[in-house]
Amino acid sequence: MSREMFVKLILYLLFKMLNLITMKTRLFFVAIVVAMFSSTTINAQINLGEKALGALQTGVASFTFSDEDAATMSKEAVRKMDSSNVVAGLKDGYTLRLNRIFGKHANENGLALNYKVYLTKDVNAFATADGSVRVFSGLMDIMDDNQLLAVIGHEIGHVANHDSRDAMKAALRKAAVVGAISSQSDKVAKLTDSQYGQLAGAIIDSKYSRKQESEADEFSYSFLKRNKYNVNAEESAFTILAAMSGGASSDFLSKMMSSHPDPQERADKAKARATVDGLYKPYVQIKFSNKAMTSQTKKTTKKKKK
């Protein structure tokens, strides 16, 4: 057996052993493995090279990454995002509107969801592995309640389908914090504030595969149908985004829509689903407002006594 084949066999056996030990011991063990194969002498002997070593570190970190790990790290990354954005207050019109239309779905699909509004003109929305849903006010400015629920339902679909966990893995690689995670002798959640900032940015920029996007679209349609909302709002929401893109990409479109498939194609598929169910009807946007409703007190004038 060649030396390279021997090393591959050892790595395979090590990976198998990782599933049989606790997280704390696992991470300590992983750190030793990565450190061992990082040495110049060993590198020269088995000819791994810098690129292959990076792949090894990434592979080790991903191999031991669970849903629980993703949720824990997402929670901290979202905390960093919340502190870096202007969050709508409890009495803000945007918050009140989101509470009204989405509050009842905080435990949708068995998930414990928490939600907030970022006050920004950007058109965006995302959900992370810990169940955090963040909606940008720019999105709420262009969509009515049903359309907004279609988009949020899509994002929840990514969490329910474990896409958010996979996105976290990709975010870890992009944020270049794999080494820090691998070297921890405690829990994976212990990163620096700066590293969580990097991770937050990578989460926002994360993209999903065509299959993941399609499945999230189907989840959104089922979400609307199950809760007796107008399912045609999904087609309408994608049509709005398609009109916004105009052949160019925005931050939101490049993340959520990516290049696979485009918004118009997804709108057509949403229409086809509604048609098959015998529910299709051209959607007309309903009037909406993001302003807080203020109760006006009537002034009473006292009559002068004669």
Query: Nearest Cα to 194, choosing from 221, 220, 176, 209?
Result: 176
In angstroms, the Cα distances linking 46 to 70, 182, 199, 262, 278 are: 33, 22, 33, 45, 63
Question: In sequence order, which residues have a C-beta less than 8 Å from that of residue 144 and are 6 or more positions away?
Answer: 233, 285, 286, 287, 288
User: Is residue 93 within 8 Å of 291, Cβ to Cβ?
Assistant: yes
Phi, psi of 188 (to 5 degrees): -65, -15
Identify the active-site residue in 50, 68, 108, 155. 155
Eight-class DSSP state of 103: G
CA distance 157 to 218: 8
Report cis status (omega within 30 of 0) of the bond before 261.
yes
100 torsion bin: left (phi>0), alpha (psi -120 to 50), beta (else): alpha
Note the Cα 97 to chain centre separation in Å. Answer: 22
Structure tokens at 150: 């279609």
Torsion 230-232-235-236 (CA) sign = negative
Q: Is 155 an annotated catalytic residue?
A: yes
User: Is residue 116 within 8 Å of 134, Cβ to Cβ?
Assistant: yes
Q: Among all residues, which ones are annotated catalytic?
A: 155
